[in-house]
Amino acid sequence: MELLKKLSQTPGISGREERIRALIKEELEKLADEVKVDAIGNVIAFKKGKSGGKKVMISGHMDEIGFIVSQIEGGFLRLSPVGGLDPRNLVAQRVVVHGRKDLRGIMMPAIKPVHIMTAEEAKAPLKISDLYVDLGLTQEETEKLVRIGDPVTIDREFIEFGANVSGKAMDDRAGVWVMIEALRQVKEHEVDIYAVASVQEEVGLRGATAGAYGIRPDIGVALDVTLAVDGPGSSKQYQVTALGEGAAIKIMDSASISNYKLVDFMRSLAEENQIKYQMEILPRGGTDAGAIERVQTGCPVITLSVPTRHVHSNVETINKEDIKNTAALLAKFLETAHKGDFAL
Ligand SMILES: [Zn+2]
Protein backbone atom coordinates (compact mmCIF):
# COMPACT_ATOMS: atom_id res chain seq x y z
CA MET A 1 0.00 0.00 0.00
CA GLU A 2 3.08 2.26 -0.17
CA LEU A 3 2.15 3.58 -3.61
CA LEU A 4 -1.46 4.20 -2.56
CA LYS A 5 -0.18 6.15 0.44
CA LYS A 6 1.97 8.32 -1.82
CA LEU A 7 -0.89 8.84 -4.25
CA SER A 8 -3.27 9.81 -1.43
CA GLN A 9 -0.89 12.27 0.21
CA THR A 10 0.28 14.06 -2.93
CA PRO A 11 -1.73 17.23 -3.63
CA GLY A 12 -3.62 17.86 -6.87
CA ILE A 13 -6.95 19.70 -6.95
CA SER A 14 -8.77 19.97 -10.28
CA GLY A 15 -6.78 22.17 -12.68
CA ARG A 16 -3.69 22.08 -10.44
CA GLU A 17 -2.66 18.49 -10.84
CA GLU A 18 1.03 19.17 -11.57
CA ARG A 19 2.44 17.37 -8.54
CA ILE A 20 0.23 14.30 -8.64
CA ARG A 21 0.71 14.19 -12.43
CA ALA A 22 4.51 14.03 -12.06
CA LEU A 23 4.22 11.12 -9.63
CA ILE A 24 1.77 9.15 -11.80
CA LYS A 25 3.78 9.80 -14.96
CA GLU A 26 6.87 8.39 -13.32
CA GLU A 27 4.97 5.22 -12.30
CA LEU A 28 3.40 4.74 -15.73
CA GLU A 29 6.74 5.19 -17.50
CA LYS A 30 7.93 1.99 -15.83
CA LEU A 31 5.04 0.03 -17.33
CA ALA A 32 4.09 1.46 -20.73
CA ASP A 33 5.64 1.70 -24.21
CA GLU A 34 5.01 5.41 -24.41
CA VAL A 35 3.74 8.07 -21.99
CA LYS A 36 2.65 11.56 -22.89
CA VAL A 37 0.76 14.47 -21.39
CA ASP A 38 -1.96 16.06 -23.53
CA ALA A 39 -2.89 19.74 -23.63
CA ILE A 40 -5.48 19.58 -20.85
CA GLY A 41 -3.02 17.72 -18.61
CA ASN A 42 -4.08 14.06 -18.83
CA VAL A 43 -1.28 11.51 -18.58
CA ILE A 44 -1.79 8.96 -21.36
CA ALA A 45 0.21 5.74 -21.23
CA PHE A 46 0.16 3.53 -24.30
CA LYS A 47 0.83 -0.21 -24.22
CA LYS A 48 0.79 -1.92 -27.59
CA GLY A 49 -1.28 -5.10 -27.98
CA LYS A 50 -0.10 -8.22 -29.80
CA SER A 51 -2.53 -7.86 -32.67
CA GLY A 52 -3.58 -4.27 -31.97
CA GLY A 53 -6.56 -2.87 -33.74
CA LYS A 54 -8.99 -2.57 -30.85
CA LYS A 55 -8.32 0.34 -28.52
CA VAL A 56 -9.25 0.09 -24.85
CA MET A 57 -9.16 3.31 -22.83
CA ILE A 58 -8.94 2.81 -19.08
CA SER A 59 -9.33 5.99 -17.08
CA GLY A 60 -8.92 6.97 -13.42
CA HIS A 61 -8.97 10.61 -12.44
CA MET A 62 -6.00 12.12 -10.66
CA ASP A 63 -7.66 15.32 -9.42
CA GLU A 64 -9.05 15.69 -5.92
CA ILE A 65 -11.60 18.05 -4.41
CA GLY A 66 -10.23 21.01 -2.48
CA PHE A 67 -10.13 24.80 -2.52
CA ILE A 68 -8.47 27.81 -4.02
CA VAL A 69 -7.67 30.97 -2.11
CA SER A 70 -10.30 33.54 -3.04
CA GLN A 71 -9.40 36.43 -0.72
CA ILE A 72 -6.68 37.48 1.65
CA GLU A 73 -8.33 39.14 4.65
CA GLY A 74 -5.65 40.49 6.95
CA GLY A 75 -3.54 37.45 7.79
CA PHE A 76 -6.43 35.10 7.03
CA LEU A 77 -7.57 33.40 3.83
CA ARG A 78 -11.05 32.95 2.40
CA LEU A 79 -11.67 30.02 0.08
CA SER A 80 -13.62 28.97 -3.01
CA PRO A 81 -14.50 25.28 -3.28
CA VAL A 82 -13.27 23.14 -6.18
CA GLY A 83 -15.58 20.13 -6.52
CA GLY A 84 -18.42 18.86 -4.36
CA LEU A 85 -17.47 19.55 -0.74
CA ASP A 86 -19.72 19.04 2.27
CA PRO A 87 -19.06 21.75 4.89
CA ARG A 88 -19.98 19.31 7.69
CA ASN A 89 -16.82 17.33 6.90
CA LEU A 90 -14.60 20.40 6.99
CA VAL A 91 -14.71 21.76 10.51
CA ALA A 92 -11.47 21.96 12.52
CA GLN A 93 -9.16 20.67 9.77
CA ARG A 94 -5.48 21.15 9.12
CA VAL A 95 -4.77 22.25 5.56
CA VAL A 96 -1.81 22.94 3.31
CA VAL A 97 -1.84 26.15 1.29
CA HIS A 98 0.29 25.65 -1.81
CA GLY A 99 1.64 29.17 -2.07
CA ARG A 100 5.15 30.17 -3.05
CA LYS A 101 5.95 27.34 -0.69
CA ASP A 102 3.78 24.81 1.13
CA LEU A 103 2.31 26.39 4.26
CA ARG A 104 0.46 24.50 6.96
CA GLY A 105 -2.63 26.12 8.40
CA ILE A 106 -5.87 25.43 10.15
CA MET A 107 -9.34 25.76 8.68
CA MET A 108 -12.36 26.76 10.78
CA PRO A 109 -15.73 28.38 10.15
CA ALA A 110 -15.78 32.10 10.92
CA ILE A 111 -18.50 31.72 13.51
CA LYS A 112 -18.60 32.37 17.24
CA PRO A 113 -17.41 29.67 19.65
CA VAL A 114 -20.37 27.59 20.78
CA HIS A 115 -20.10 29.03 24.32
CA ILE A 116 -21.27 32.44 23.23
CA MET A 117 -23.71 31.53 20.44
CA THR A 118 -27.41 32.30 20.69
CA ALA A 119 -29.78 29.33 20.22
CA GLU A 120 -30.64 30.74 16.80
CA GLU A 121 -26.99 30.98 15.70
CA ALA A 122 -26.29 27.43 16.87
CA LYS A 123 -29.03 26.14 14.55
CA ALA A 124 -27.81 27.87 11.37
CA PRO A 125 -26.41 25.40 8.79
CA LEU A 126 -22.71 25.66 8.02
CA LYS A 127 -21.67 26.97 4.59
CA ILE A 128 -18.39 26.60 2.69
CA SER A 129 -18.25 30.40 2.55
CA ASP A 130 -18.02 30.44 6.38
CA LEU A 131 -14.61 28.76 6.27
CA TYR A 132 -11.31 30.55 6.60
CA VAL A 133 -7.67 29.54 6.98
CA ASP A 134 -5.29 30.75 9.67
CA LEU A 135 -1.62 30.42 8.67
CA GLY A 136 -0.26 31.96 11.85
CA LEU A 137 1.33 34.72 9.76
CA THR A 138 0.95 38.49 9.65
CA GLN A 139 -0.86 40.13 6.74
CA GLU A 140 2.46 41.18 5.26
CA GLU A 141 3.98 37.70 5.48
CA THR A 142 0.79 36.14 4.10
CA GLU A 143 0.70 38.48 1.12
CA LYS A 144 4.32 37.70 0.34
CA LEU A 145 3.72 33.94 0.27
CA VAL A 146 0.12 33.49 -0.90
CA ARG A 147 -1.67 34.68 -4.01
CA ILE A 148 -5.35 34.60 -4.97
CA GLY A 149 -5.93 31.30 -6.79
CA ASP A 150 -3.36 29.26 -4.87
CA PRO A 151 -4.61 25.70 -4.23
CA VAL A 152 -5.46 24.45 -0.76
CA THR A 153 -5.63 20.77 0.17
CA ILE A 154 -6.43 18.88 3.34
CA ASP A 155 -3.44 17.85 5.44
CA ARG A 156 -4.25 14.23 6.22
CA GLU A 157 -2.01 11.25 6.76
CA PHE A 158 -2.90 7.94 5.07
CA ILE A 159 -3.34 5.06 7.53
CA GLU A 160 -3.82 1.29 7.45
CA PHE A 161 -6.15 -0.09 10.11
CA GLY A 162 -7.54 -3.60 10.28
CA ALA A 163 -8.69 -4.69 6.83
CA ASN A 164 -9.00 -1.09 5.63
CA VAL A 165 -7.00 1.96 4.64
CA SER A 166 -8.07 5.57 4.90
CA GLY A 167 -6.94 8.98 3.74
CA LYS A 168 -7.84 12.00 1.68
CA ALA A 169 -8.35 11.79 -2.09
CA MET A 170 -8.95 8.04 -2.18
CA ASP A 171 -11.43 9.43 -4.74
CA ASP A 172 -9.82 8.76 -7.07
CA ARG A 173 -6.24 7.85 -6.26
CA ALA A 174 -7.69 4.39 -5.50
CA GLY A 175 -8.78 4.22 -9.16
CA VAL A 176 -5.35 5.40 -10.32
CA TRP A 177 -3.75 2.69 -8.16
CA VAL A 178 -6.05 0.07 -9.74
CA MET A 179 -4.96 1.24 -13.19
CA ILE A 180 -1.24 1.14 -12.37
CA GLU A 181 -1.53 -2.21 -10.60
CA ALA A 182 -3.49 -3.77 -13.49
CA LEU A 183 -0.80 -2.63 -15.94
CA ARG A 184 1.75 -4.28 -13.69
CA GLN A 185 -0.22 -7.53 -13.65
CA VAL A 186 -1.34 -7.75 -17.27
CA LYS A 187 0.51 -10.40 -19.28
CA GLU A 188 -0.36 -11.13 -22.92
CA HIS A 189 -2.91 -8.75 -24.38
CA GLU A 190 -4.19 -8.39 -27.92
CA VAL A 191 -5.84 -4.97 -27.54
CA ASP A 192 -3.97 -1.68 -27.49
CA ILE A 193 -4.19 -0.21 -24.01
CA TYR A 194 -4.48 3.53 -23.38
CA ALA A 195 -4.20 4.11 -19.64
CA VAL A 196 -5.34 7.62 -18.80
CA ALA A 197 -4.87 9.42 -15.51
CA SER A 198 -7.40 12.13 -16.23
CA VAL A 199 -7.70 15.68 -14.91
CA GLN A 200 -10.69 17.78 -13.83
CA GLU A 201 -13.13 14.92 -13.26
CA GLU A 202 -14.52 16.48 -10.11
CA VAL A 203 -15.62 19.59 -11.96
CA GLY A 204 -17.37 17.78 -14.81
CA LEU A 205 -15.41 14.92 -16.47
CA ARG A 206 -13.41 17.41 -18.50
CA GLY A 207 -10.10 15.59 -18.79
CA ALA A 208 -11.67 12.30 -19.85
CA THR A 209 -13.71 14.09 -22.52
CA ALA A 210 -10.58 15.57 -24.12
CA GLY A 211 -8.67 12.32 -23.63
CA ALA A 212 -11.32 10.21 -25.34
CA TYR A 213 -11.49 12.61 -28.30
CA GLY A 214 -7.77 12.15 -28.78
CA ILE A 215 -7.75 8.38 -28.37
CA ARG A 216 -11.04 7.44 -30.08
CA PRO A 217 -11.36 4.24 -28.05
CA ASP A 218 -13.42 1.16 -29.01
CA ILE A 219 -14.07 0.34 -25.35
CA GLY A 220 -13.90 2.59 -22.28
CA VAL A 221 -13.40 1.44 -18.70
CA ALA A 222 -13.53 4.06 -15.95
CA LEU A 223 -11.94 3.32 -12.61
CA ASP A 224 -13.36 5.17 -9.68
CA VAL A 225 -14.64 4.89 -6.16
CA THR A 226 -18.30 4.37 -5.35
CA LEU A 227 -20.42 4.77 -2.25
CA ALA A 228 -20.32 2.08 0.39
CA VAL A 229 -23.23 3.00 2.60
CA ASP A 230 -22.82 0.09 4.96
CA GLY A 231 -22.14 1.55 8.40
CA PRO A 232 -24.25 2.82 11.29
CA GLY A 233 -27.09 5.10 10.27
CA SER A 234 -27.57 3.51 6.85
CA SER A 235 -30.13 1.01 5.68
CA LYS A 236 -29.72 -1.90 3.27
CA GLN A 237 -32.00 -0.16 0.78
CA TYR A 238 -29.44 2.63 0.23
CA GLN A 239 -26.33 0.51 0.51
CA VAL A 240 -25.01 0.78 -3.13
CA THR A 241 -21.97 -1.35 -2.15
CA ALA A 242 -20.39 -2.76 1.02
CA LEU A 243 -16.75 -2.88 2.04
CA GLY A 244 -15.12 -6.29 1.79
CA GLU A 245 -17.66 -7.61 -0.72
CA GLY A 246 -15.29 -7.24 -3.68
CA ALA A 247 -14.77 -5.14 -6.79
CA ALA A 248 -17.93 -3.31 -7.87
CA ILE A 249 -19.15 -3.76 -11.46
CA LYS A 250 -21.25 -0.73 -12.31
CA ILE A 251 -24.56 -1.12 -14.07
CA MET A 252 -25.56 2.54 -13.97
CA ASP A 253 -25.02 5.93 -12.39
CA SER A 254 -26.33 9.36 -13.29
CA ALA A 255 -23.65 10.01 -15.96
CA SER A 256 -23.52 6.67 -17.80
CA ILE A 257 -25.29 3.39 -18.37
CA SER A 258 -22.76 0.59 -18.74
CA ASN A 259 -22.96 -1.41 -21.99
CA TYR A 260 -24.90 -4.48 -20.84
CA LYS A 261 -22.68 -6.86 -22.81
CA LEU A 262 -19.63 -5.41 -21.05
CA VAL A 263 -21.42 -5.89 -17.72
CA ASP A 264 -22.11 -9.57 -18.55
CA PHE A 265 -18.54 -10.07 -19.79
CA MET A 266 -17.08 -8.55 -16.62
CA ARG A 267 -19.35 -10.60 -14.38
CA SER A 268 -18.43 -13.88 -16.14
CA LEU A 269 -14.76 -12.96 -16.00
CA ALA A 270 -14.94 -12.40 -12.24
CA GLU A 271 -16.70 -15.73 -11.79
CA GLU A 272 -14.29 -17.70 -13.99
CA ASN A 273 -11.31 -16.26 -12.15
CA GLN A 274 -12.88 -16.41 -8.69
CA ILE A 275 -12.49 -12.69 -8.15
CA LYS A 276 -14.87 -11.42 -5.48
CA TYR A 277 -17.28 -8.86 -6.95
CA GLN A 278 -20.54 -7.03 -6.32
CA MET A 279 -22.93 -5.24 -8.64
CA GLU A 280 -23.41 -1.48 -8.35
CA ILE A 281 -26.21 0.91 -9.18
CA LEU A 282 -25.42 4.46 -8.05
CA PRO A 283 -28.44 6.79 -8.01
CA ARG A 284 -26.38 9.99 -8.19
CA GLY A 285 -22.81 10.66 -9.24
CA GLY A 286 -20.73 9.84 -12.29
CA THR A 287 -17.33 8.76 -13.53
CA ASP A 288 -15.12 9.28 -16.58
CA ALA A 289 -17.29 6.65 -18.31
CA GLY A 290 -19.96 9.33 -18.68
CA ALA A 291 -17.57 11.33 -20.86
CA ILE A 292 -16.02 8.46 -22.84
CA GLU A 293 -19.47 7.08 -23.67
CA ARG A 294 -20.52 10.08 -25.70
CA VAL A 295 -17.46 11.16 -27.69
CA GLN A 296 -17.29 10.71 -31.45
CA THR A 297 -20.15 8.40 -32.43
CA GLY A 298 -20.37 6.80 -29.00
CA CYS A 299 -18.38 4.11 -27.22
CA PRO A 300 -19.32 1.10 -25.09
CA VAL A 301 -18.30 1.86 -21.50
CA ILE A 302 -18.31 0.40 -18.04
CA THR A 303 -16.94 1.45 -14.65
CA LEU A 304 -15.12 -0.75 -12.18
CA SER A 305 -15.48 0.81 -8.76
CA VAL A 306 -13.70 0.52 -5.46
CA PRO A 307 -16.32 0.60 -2.66
CA THR A 308 -15.55 3.53 -0.38
CA ARG A 309 -16.94 4.76 2.93
CA HIS A 310 -17.24 8.50 3.63
CA VAL A 311 -16.79 9.60 0.00
CA HIS A 312 -15.83 13.29 -0.37
CA SER A 313 -14.56 13.49 3.20
CA ASN A 314 -10.98 13.52 4.50
CA VAL A 315 -11.27 9.97 5.79
CA GLU A 316 -12.31 8.13 2.65
CA THR A 317 -11.98 4.47 3.56
CA ILE A 318 -11.54 1.39 1.41
CA ASN A 319 -10.91 -2.31 1.99
CA LYS A 320 -7.48 -3.64 0.97
CA GLU A 321 -8.91 -6.79 -0.63
CA ASP A 322 -11.55 -4.88 -2.61
CA ILE A 323 -8.96 -2.67 -4.29
CA LYS A 324 -6.75 -5.67 -5.13
CA ASN A 325 -9.77 -7.53 -6.54
CA THR A 326 -10.61 -4.52 -8.71
CA ALA A 327 -7.09 -4.43 -10.14
CA ALA A 328 -7.12 -8.21 -10.74
CA LEU A 329 -10.43 -7.99 -12.60
CA LEU A 330 -9.18 -5.12 -14.75
CA ALA A 331 -5.98 -7.02 -15.62
CA LYS A 332 -8.02 -10.08 -16.66
CA PHE A 333 -10.26 -7.87 -18.74
CA LEU A 334 -7.33 -6.36 -20.62
CA GLU A 335 -6.04 -9.86 -21.40
CA THR A 336 -9.40 -11.05 -22.76
CA ALA A 337 -11.13 -7.91 -24.09
CA HIS A 338 -10.38 -8.87 -27.72
CA LYS A 339 -12.73 -11.85 -27.34
CA GLY A 340 -15.70 -9.70 -26.43
CA ASP A 341 -18.36 -8.42 -28.82
CA PHE A 342 -19.98 -5.37 -27.34
CA ALA A 343 -21.86 -4.17 -30.41
CA LEU A 344 -25.51 -3.49 -29.67
ZN1 LIG B 1 -14.10 10.13 -8.39
Q: How many residues does the chain have?
A: 344
- Distance from residue 62's CA to the centre of ligand 1 (Å): 9
- Other Cβ atoms within 10 Å of 10 Cβ, number: 19
Q: How far apart are CA 222 and CA 179, in angstroms?
A: 9
- Distance from residue 171's CA to the centre of ligand 1 (Å): 5
Judge whether 323 and 176 are in contact, CB under 8 Å. no
pLDDT at 131: 94
- Distance from residue 318's CA to the centre of ligand 1 (Å): 13
- Distance from residue 116's CA to the centre of ligand 1 (Å): 39
Of the candidate CATH numbers 3.50.30.10, 3.30.460.80, 3.40.630.10, 1.10.150.120, the domain formed by 2-64+168-339 belongs to 3.40.630.10
Given strand 316-319, what is the order of strands in its sheet? 159-161, 164-167, 316-319
The one-digit pLDDT tens for each residue of the chain (344 residues) are 999 999 999 999 999 999 999 999 999 999 999 999 999 999 999 999 999 779 999 999 999 999 999 999 989 999 999 999 988 889 899 999 999 999 999 999 988 888 888 888 888 888 999 999 999 999 999 999 999 999 999 999 999 999 999 999 999 999 999 999 999 999 999 999 999 999 999 999 999 999 999 999 999 999 999 999 999 988 888 899 999 999 999 999 999 999 999 999 999 999 999 999 999 999 999 999 999 999 989 999 999 999 999 999 999 999 999 999 999 999 999 999 999 999 99
Residue 28 has phi, psi (to 5 degrees) of: -70, -30
Considering the entire predicted model, what is its pTM? 0.96
Q: Any idea what the Cα angle at residue 284 is, between residues 78 and 68, rounded to 5°?
A: 15
pLDDT at 114: 81
**Helix, strand, coil percentages in the chain from 3-state DSSP, rounded to 5:** 30, 30, 40
Nearest to 60 by CA among 113, 105, 12, 96: 12
Q: How far apart are CA 284 and CA 299, in angstroms?
A: 21
Known catalytic residue at 188: no
Asked if omega into 192 is within 30° of 0 (cis), the reply is no
Q: How far apart are CA 174 and CA 28, in angstroms?
A: 15
Q: How far apart are CA 151 and CA 131, in angstroms?
A: 15
Judge whether 196 and 58 are in contact, CB under 8 Å. yes
Fold of the domain spanning 68-154: Elongation Factor Tu (Ef-tu); domain 3 (2.40.30)
- Residue among 17, 64, 181, 201 flagged as catalytic: 201
- Domain ranges for the chain, please list them: 2-64+168-339, 68-154
pLDDT at 84: 92
